[in-house]
Amino acid sequence: MLQGWVVIGVSFAYLCLLFAIAYYGDKRADQRRSLIANPFIYALSIAVYCTSWTFYGSVGRAAESGMHFLPIYLGPTLMAALWWIVLRKMVRISKVNRITSIADFISARYGKSQTLGGLVTIIAVVGIMPYISLQLKAISTTFTVLLHYPQFEVAPDLVAVPILADTALYVALVLAAFSILFGTRHIDASEHHEGMVAAIAFESVIKLLAFVAVGVFVTYGLFGGFGDLFTRAMDHPDIVRLFAVGDAAEYGGWIALTLLAMAAIICLPRQFQVSVVENVDENHIRKAVWLFPLYLLVINIFVLPIAFAGMMLFDPSEVNPDIFVLALPMANQSETLALFVFLGGLSAGTSMVIVETIALSTMVCNDLVMPVLLRIPWLGLQKLKDVSKLLLSIRRWTIVLVVFLGYLYVRLIGESFALVTIGLVSFAAAAQFAPALIGGIFWKGATQRGAMWGLSAGFVVWLYTLLLPSFARSGWLPESFIEQGLFGIELLRPYQLFGLTGLDPVTHSLIWSMMANLGCYVMVSLLTQHTAIERIQAALFVDVFRPSGEGGGSQFWRGTATVADLYALVARFVGQERAERAFSSYSQEHNVDLRTLRDADAQLVNFAERLLGGAIGAASARVMVASVAKGEIVGLQEVMEILDEASQVIAYSQKLEAKSRELEAATTELRAANERLKELDRMKDDFISTVTHELRTPLTSIRSFTEILHDNPDLEAAQREEFLSIVIRESERLTRLINQVLDLAKMESGNIRWSMAVVDVRDVIRDAVAATGQLFKDKQVNLKVTAPDQPVPLWTDGDRLMQVVINLLSNAVKFSEPGTGLVSVTLDVRASGITVSVRDNGPGIPYWAQSRIFEKFQQVGDTMTAKPQGTGLGLAICKSIVLRLGGSIWVESEPGRGAAFCFFIPARPVEDEPAEAAGRAEPGGVAE
Cis, bond preceding 150 (omega within 30 deg of 0): yes
446 versus 873: smaller Cβ distance to other proteins: 446
For position 289 contacting other proteins by CB under 8 A, the verdict is yes
What is the distance between the alpha carbons of residues 589 and 518, in angstroms, rounded to a whole number?
A: 43
For position 240 contacting other proteins by CB under 8 A, the verdict is yes
Binding mask 412-441 for other proteins (x = CB under 8 A): ---------------------------x-x
What is the distance between the alpha carbons of residues 702 and 679, in angstroms, rounded to a whole number?
A: 35
Contact with other proteins (CB under 8 A) among 3, 4, 30, 227: 227
Q: Where are the beta strands (DSSP E) in 659-760?
A: 757-760
For position 542 contacting other proteins by CB under 8 A, the verdict is yes
Contact with other proteins (CB under 8 A) among 147, 245, 401, 738: 245
For position 77 contacting other proteins by CB under 8 A, the verdict is yes
Find, among 823, 834, 846, 844, the residue nearest to 899 by Cα. 844
CB of 527 to other proteins, least distance (A): 16
Give the strands of the sheet with 833-839, arranged side by side: 782-786, 822-829, 833-839, 899-906, 888-893
For position 111 contacting other proteins by CB under 8 A, the verdict is no
CB of 471 to other proteins, least distance (A): 33
Q: Helix H segments across 826-919? A: 847-850, 874-884
Identify residue 453 by its one-letter amino acid code.
W
Residue 753, Ramachandran bin (φ over 0: left; ψ between -120 and 50: alpha; else beta) = beta
For position 43 contacting other proteins by CB under 8 A, the verdict is no
For position 337 contacting other proteins by CB under 8 A, the verdict is no
CB of 639 to other proteins, least distance (A): 16
What is the distance between the alpha carbons of residues 290 and 94, in angstroms, rounded to a whole number?
A: 23
For position 249 contacting other proteins by CB under 8 A, the verdict is no
For position 256 contacting other proteins by CB under 8 A, the verdict is no
For position 444 contacting other proteins by CB under 8 A, the verdict is yes
What is the distance between the alpha carbons of residues 449 and 522, in angstroms, rounded to a whole number?
A: 10
Identify residue 87 by its one-letter amino acid code.
L
Contact with other proteins (CB under 8 A) among 60, 71, 349, 454: 71
Find, among 834, 839, 810, 816, the residue nearest to 907 by Cα. 834
Q: Which residues contact 808 (CB under 8 A, 6 or more apart)?
A: 836, 838, 878, 901, 903
Number of residues that make up the chain: 928
For position 523 contacting other proteins by CB under 8 A, the verdict is no
Kindly state the number of chain residues that form the binding site for other proteins, as judged by CB under 8 A.
50
CB of 79 to other proteins, least distance (A): 8
What is the distance between the alpha carbons of residues 422 and 411, in angstroms, rounded to a whole number?
A: 13
- Cβ–Cβ contacts within 10 Å for residue 256, how many? 22
Q: Interior CA angle at 111 toward 110 and 112, to 5°?
A: 100
Which of these ranges, 82-90, 322-330, 573-581, 890-898, lies near other proteins under the rule CB under 8 A? 82-90
What is the distance between the alpha carbons of residues 808 and 787, in angstroms, rounded to a whole number?
A: 17
Contact with other proteins (CB under 8 A) among 304, 413, 430, 457: 304
For position 234 contacting other proteins by CB under 8 A, the verdict is yes
For position 95 contacting other proteins by CB under 8 A, the verdict is no
243 versus 476: smaller Cβ distance to other proteins: 243
CB of 207 to other proteins, least distance (A): 20
CB of 305 to other proteins, least distance (A): 9
Write phi, then psi, for 566 (nearest 5 degrees).
Answer: -60, -45
Contact with other proteins (CB under 8 A) among 12, 40, 251, 847: 251
450 versus 874: smaller Cβ distance to other proteins: 450
Beta bridge mates, 784 = 824
For position 74 contacting other proteins by CB under 8 A, the verdict is yes
For position 80 contacting other proteins by CB under 8 A, the verdict is yes
For position 109 contacting other proteins by CB under 8 A, the verdict is no
What is the distance between the alpha carbons of residues 92 and 99, in angstroms, rounded to a whole number?
A: 10
Beta bridge mates, 600 = 561
What is the footprint of other proteins within residues 268-287 (CB under 8 A)? 282-283, 286-287
Write phi, then psi, for 224 (nearest 5 degrees).
Answer: -95, 45
Applying CB under 8 A, the residues found at the interface with other proteins are: 66-67, 70-71, 74, 77-78, 80-82, 84-85, 226-228, 230-231, 234, 240-241, 243-246, 251, 254-255, 258, 282-283, 286-287, 289-290, 293-294, 297, 301, 304, 439, 441-445, 542-543, 545-547
